[in-house]
Chains A and B, each alone.
Chain A
């Protein structure tokens, strides 16, 4: 089997199962995507992973475009398309099927139990995603401070547009580097 076909297959085998377990959306998968692409398959270095994460969040659209970037790094454009399809197609198909059952389930004891039971796991996965990206980043004290400040800002000012925060963060760090603060 040629190498690029093997890489596309590996991308599919990583993202299809994750698609079906992404409770709480793509952010919940960050920890596992980091582990798979840095440690297991070596598609990116830690440094590249942290950079690609930042790029994926600065772009518009559902925040899971990180998978496209990992695919692109692993196998170019075919890799990007494969990873995107592998991440979105299975969960979309599941929703397609779910719509039919949904009318009957909604409000039932089981439905409420599933909804309540999965919510704290989703919260835990999302927080783990934050931990994973923080670990992949260079981990300078300035980054920790910036993370804590941004978390607090978004918690207390929910209407603050994330893009303003990203731009401010990028500008501050870029400026600090340019004038040689670190």
Chain B
């Protein structure tokens, strides 16, 4: 039954024939309009709500996976949507569509910066932009912490991560390799304990 409905939805998708240029174009538009990060939210609006290319359920499943995988959440989602629409080539078209516009824009800004970057006013303007962007970064991290407030273990892991990487400036990869098994193990223990 489940297999049958899967086949059915795939058939429907083939019938709709979303071509590679259309995929590239949609994600190109998404790339140049998704300001301020949070690509996942913009993707939901453009691809699911506006174009109905995948279902809500497919989106949630993809968002879940992109959450536990390394990499930018927005790019990970884009890979999965491309895959579902057109397989491997679809994923390539979607990712290149998403990244090519912002890449050109950011390089154009950087070339402009190289020309006029010596000006004190430009430094001041960029400091102001950076202050806002750092605030956005802290707010994102703090929102994630808020979810674990009731539990001291995740909070301790977050504090340990900030101490090692942020304050002591230890290299990220060994820190993650040490903390991840501890954090996952403690979670498992707690769950086992809770079930018993």
Contacts and interface: CB of A to CB of B under 8 A. Distances in A.
A51 B125 CA distance: 9
Q: Chain B's interface: helix, strand, loop or mixed, by majority?
A: helix
Nearest to B109: A55
A146 B106 contact: no
Interface in A153-175: 153-155, 161-163, 165-174
B193 interface: no
Interface residues of B, number: 93
Contact of A170 (B74, B88, B125): B125
Given A60-B31, A115-B68, A165-B135, A151 B142 contact: yes
A53 B154 CA distance: 29
Identify which of B76, B131, B144, B147 gathers the most chain A CB atoms within 10 Å of its CB. B131
Given A137-B130, A146-B131, A126 B72 contact: no
Given A114-B68, A169-B131, A171-B128, A120 B145 contact: yes
B162 A128 contact: yes
Contacts of B135: 146-154, 165
Contacts, number: 362
Given A55-B113, A59-B102, A62-B75, A27 B130 contact: no
B98 to A, nearest CB: 7
A10 interface: no
A57 B133 contact: yes
Nearest to B117: A51
Contact of A98 (B65, B124, B125, B145): B65
Contacts of B147: 119
Interface of A: 17-32, 35, 47-48, 50-65, 68-69, 72-73, 77, 80, 84, 88, 91-92, 94-96, 98-99, 102, 106, 109, 111-134, 137-138, 140, 143, 146-155, 161-163, 165-174, 176-178
Interface of B: 31-39, 61, 64-76, 79-80, 83, 88, 91, 95, 98-99, 101-103, 105-107, 109-110, 113, 117, 120-121, 123-145, 147-148, 154-155, 157-162, 165-167, 169, 171-173, 176, 179-180, 183-188, 191
| 10 interchain residue pairs of minimum CB distance | A124-B161, A150-B135, A61-B102, A91-B71, A162-B36, A173-B128, A128-B166, A117-B184, A177-B124, A146-B131
12 contacts: A22-B70, A32-B172, A51-B113, A77-B107, A91-B75, A96-B83, A98-B65, A102-B61, A115-B67, A119-B154, A128-B167, A150-B131
